Amino acid sequence: MAKERQGRRRFIKGAGLMASSVFSSSFLPSAAAAQSGQTPPATGSKGAQIRSLLAKSEMIVAPIVPDIVSVRLCEMEGFQAVQIGDSQPTTWHGYPGYGVVSYTEVLNFSVHLASNTNLPVMVGMADGGGTPLTIYRATQELERGGVAAVAYEDSTAETHFSRQGTLVSPADFADRIKAAVDARRDQNLVVIARTDAVSQGYTLEQALERGVACAEAGADIIYFSGMRLEDHPKARDAVKKPLFHLGNARTTPDQAKAAKVSVIAYHVDGVAHGALYEALKELKSTGKFEQASKMLLPNGVQARLIRSDDYNALARKYHMIK
């Protein structure tokens, strides 16, 4: 009996060690990375990286990307941050950007990307579920997931369909931002207030009023969606906070900086679908895609993006291959 009890104790102890190892490798990326030989994601606050760049008045260029491979391409090319919003998981599901996916789906998508990169990930959470309470919870979940910055807007469900001014009141919008600010445990998490006032037909002065209210509520960055670049200097003077701007294909970072913009994002995520579309047309019409294949990533780059060497090393370590 004594030997049997001793054997059970050894089994329980071994099972406990095994479970703790599985837990650490599954939920703590740095532990798994250290064993595989990959560079672990940075453990410091990524929001602090954004704040440091803003403090040095450096223009932050943030490509909008749809997946982890795209994020790693941004890392490879030396970008300082990436931006995602509800449109990326929405497109992934094959839906239009009409608020069809839940804020939980956007949150999970964002955390998945943030946990697989050293780059700061900036997330647009739309209305964050629609109430200050859902925004409070979402902010804490995103913070725990390693997101660097989160944006909330003054939209309603109807905003996705209408251009008739369907926004929450300035006071309600300020409460949304206050909830996000209060929810922070890491004060480096950057809170962005996005107002759709200009794109919804409000006057510039009405948009600025909303921006000022959000700045006073504690927002770190203000985003005036739909505002002309030439109106941003006036907006910057009004809110006295860094400005975010969504650039088009012709807007350069230097032009944005001259307009007192601090963060500019670019919708490069649709380029991949455009390249695929051209390849499919060529394949259908000619039976091959020789021209489109010139856009394929070199094998070495593709292998780096999916970390083939890391997993080959793991396979050798565990005697799966020689």
What's the average pLDDT block by block, 10 residues per block, for the chain (322 residues)?
Answer: 45 36 32 36 77 96 96 97 93 88 92 96 96 98 98 88 80 99 98 97 97 99 98 99 98 98 97 95 97 92 93 97 93
> Quick one: 254 exposed, middle or buried, by C-beta within 10 A (0-12, 13-18, 19+)?
exposed
The answer to whether 117 touches 71, Cβ cutoff 8 Å, is yes
The span from the CA of 289 to the CA of 295, in Å, is 10
pLDDT of residue 77: 96
Give the pairing of strands 82-84 and 60-63.
unpaired
pTM given for the model = 0.85
One-letter amino acid at 52 equals: S
E-strand ranges in the chain read 60-63, 82-84, 121-124, 149-153, 190-195, 221-224, 243-247, 263-266
pLDDT of residue 218: 99
pLDDT of residue 163: 67
Q: What is the DSSP string of 256-285?
A: HHHTT-SEEEE--TTHHHHHHHHHHHHHHH
pLDDT of residue 47: 98
**Best CA proximity match to 175, nearest among 205, 213, 204:** 213
Within 10 angstroms of residue 92's Cβ, the number of other Cβ atoms is 13
The span from the CA of 213 to the CA of 223, in Å, is 13
pLDDT of residue 161: 78
Task: Go through the domains of the chain in sequence order and give each one's CATH number.
Answer: 46-269 (3.20.20.60), 274-317 (no CATH)
Name every residue whose Cβ is closer than 8 Å to that of residue 122 and which is 6 or more positions away in sequence. 50, 62, 81, 82, 83, 84, 147, 148, 149, 150, 151, 190, 192, 263, 265
pLDDT of residue 128: 95
Per-residue pLDDT tens for 148-176? Answer: 999 999 998 877 776 665 899 999 999 99
Name every residue whose Cβ is closer than 8 Å to that of residue 158 and which is 6 or more positions away in sequence. 166
